[in-house]
Amino acid sequence: MPLIGVTACTRFVDRHVVHGAAAQYVEAVAAGAGGAPVILPALASRTDFDAVVARLDGLLLTGSPSNVQPERYGGEPARPGTLQDPARDATTLPLIRRAIEDGLPLLAICRGHQELNVALGGSLHQHVHELPGRADHRAPADEPNEKRYAFAHSVRLVSGGVLAGLASTDEVVVNSLHSQAIDRLADGLVIEATSPDGVIEAVRVATAKSFALGVQWHPEWHIAADALSRAIFAAFGEAARDRARRRAAAR
């Protein structure tokens, strides 16, 4: 069974700083990718990135209520009250670069999708719903999660891309819970999907040695009922198993 790292956020719980990941990500790694999930704490420079990557067979970059700090990509200062997680940024951004260098299979979801772009030199819109012609991609905070993570809008898949191959169609419907979105696409990333208003909804690493995909939506919520969500995690899991087999053969 491949060992798959799951990135953690930091937050205050009962007056303590806690490193954690939502259950949906952990369960999707186990049930959808067939992997053994291990949560990676956001220890920033105290992380031995080479050692972490060497021990993993896959890396899942999770979503989060927090935003990537704009100084990480040369953006305007964040508005007061914007939730940020500097420890996570300082952990995931170098980890992404090391993972890609090593050919570690990677699946990036929502904030993780944005982190992937920033780690490779791209930038973000901080409030995409305020841009002319763009829709509101946020979900109401006061709704139950079943509604917040329900399918919300269509995305068009790029012909010949990884997602189009997994879906065997050129358009699917996804959920939507984000205010940030990719602005300047990083060199080395290729667009895999866009929303009707032009938001970049999925990317892949063009020269990746293995599976390396980012999606703006949340497939972890729908692996039981949605074919593309299942296919994304299955492809990620198969890439992780292939790495596990190669690592075992090299011992």
Amino acid at 29: V
**213 contacts: CB under 8 Å, gap ≥ 6:** 106, 107, 108, 162, 163, 192, 202, 203, 204, 205, 232, 236
Measured CA to CA, the distance from residue 211 to residue 59 in angstroms comes to 10
Residue of 9, 110, 137, 222 marked active site = 110
Instruction: Indicate if 9 belongs to the active site.
Output: no
Amino acid at 173: V
Measured CA to CA, the distance from residue 53 to residue 88 in angstroms comes to 16
Residue of 113, 137, 218, 222 marked active site = 218
Of 54, 49, 7, nearest to 26 (Cα)?
7
Of 116, 104, 96, nearest to 190 (Cα)?
116
Instruction: Indicate if 218 belongs to the active site.
Output: yes
Contact criterion met (CB below 8 Å) for 173 and 153: yes
Instruction: Indicate if 137 belongs to the active site.
Output: no
- Helix intervals (H) in the chain: 23-31, 49-55, 86-102, 111-119, 145-148, 162-167, 227-249
Catalytically active residues are 110, 218, 220
